[in-house]
Amino acid sequence: MKRTRDDMDIVWQTPANPPELHDYIFRDGIRYVKPYYFEFISHVKNRWAKKTIVDLFTEEFKGRPRDYYVSAVKEGRIQVDGQVVPISYVVQPSQKISHFLHRHEPPVMAWDIQILQKEPEVLTVSKPASVPVHPCGQYRKNTVIGILQAEHGLAPLFPIHRLDRLVSGLLILARNASRADLFRQQIESGMVKKQYVARVIGEFPEDEQVVDANVNYNAREGRSTVEVRDDYGNGNTSLQGKSACTKFTRISTNGSHSIVLCEPITGRTHQIRVHLQYIGHPIANDMLYLSESVTKRSAEGLSADRADARSVISVDQSSHQCHKDEADYVSEEDFRIDPMCTNCPNLAPKGYDGHELGLWLHCIRYSGPEWVYECPRPDWAFLD
């Protein structure tokens, strides 16, 4: 869909527009996405009905000032059922509302996504930290799926497991839906074994440690906690979390840090991270779980995603190759600034001002019936 306003061509993009090489800008080791126009769709809830279109946006979407919404309605960047409406228009239940935005995606580190194995039905890659696997939240093109499509023409791809954005390592992608379904059936039936390595605080015990403790994930805070029954075996106590079990084996230690093999039997959110904290050996650069007294995110006004990013401290990621050298940065063409955009002229959206280098947690191996895929350990997983 193409519109022209004030001598500026605007091409509205949808998920049907695949990421392309020219969509990315590289600066100082960071991968940015050139801002683009995108249609965000919502439907009028009952509690929104009878409000004017401007009042609805001002009250429900407080990230922008009222003056912006007035201008957006007048310019046709906010529409109702595909039609331009006046600022006094009163919305009705179930109507479709389109908000056409100059979208600024969060940046990620510019490390290459290394292809490990390329088979007719399966692709395995080494996912760098800071890059989400698939489109989610504000990320669409700055994802493993988007980058592989733009740089290698690999599509469609079906991730058969997930890695958190700040976690690196082995990622298995099926190249067709039937193979993806087979992988998922094997995972759900408990036929797949997973292995990670982590660098943790302290001298980890020499004997294998098995943690069998419920994990309760708080989506609002973006943080998990461990729940266990008391020592008196109170069977009437209702645990809110989900059952979770992880095996840990020490690989090496220098007294202050240890490299630990982590084998999650279940797959709960932040399971490895919170189980390591529970036994007194949190991941050494995981500020979210290094302390019990982490400030609550909701109190700080941070989303879970952003709080994760701000909690990460600098790490050695020399095992990753930077995607562009300095000579390439200056040759990138600039992007067109939108006079109505509340993020321009910055490439990143508001609040994304730090370098997100990732956790010392890396997936190294997945194995199932008659198949094994592996990924090399990163540099930080070897102690001097």
Report, as residue numbers or ranges, the catalytic residues: 164
Q: Measuring CA to CA, how many Å separate 89 from each of 18, 80, 92, 239, 255?
A: 35, 9, 10, 49, 67
Instruction: Check: CB of residue 170 under 8 Å from CB of residue 373.
Output: yes
Pick from 352, 348, 355: nearest CA to 32: 348
Handedness of CA 275, 280, 285, 286 (dihedral sign): positive
3-state secondary structure string across 248-301:
EEEEEECCCEEEEEEEECCCCCCHHHHHHHHCCCCECCECCCCCCCCCCHHHHC
Please work out, in degrees rounded to the nearest 5, the angle formed at the alpha carbon of residue 146 by the alpha carbons of 141 and 150: 105
Contacts of 196 by beta carbon, 8 Å cutoff, 6+ apart: 169, 261, 262, 263, 264, 272, 361, 362, 363, 364
Contacts of 225 by beta carbon, 8 Å cutoff, 6+ apart: 215, 216, 218, 241, 274
Q: How far apart are CA 116 and CA 360, in angstroms?
A: 20
Helix (H) or strand (E) holding 177: helix 177-188
Instruction: Check: CB of residue 310 under 8 Å from CB of residue 357.
Output: no
Would you list the DSSP string of 200-212? EES---SS-EEEE
Amino acid making up residue 161: H
Pick from 197, 350, 351: nearest CA to 276: 197
- R_g of the chain computed on alpha carbons: 23
Q: Which long-range contacts (CB under 8 A, 24 or more apart) does 286-289 make?
A: 286/311, 286/359, 286/360, 286/361, 287/311, 287/312, 287/313, 288/222, 288/223, 289/223
Instruction: Check: CB of residue 124 under 8 Å from CB of residue 117.
Output: yes
Instruction: Check: CB of residue 378 under 8 Å from CB of residue 362.
Output: yes
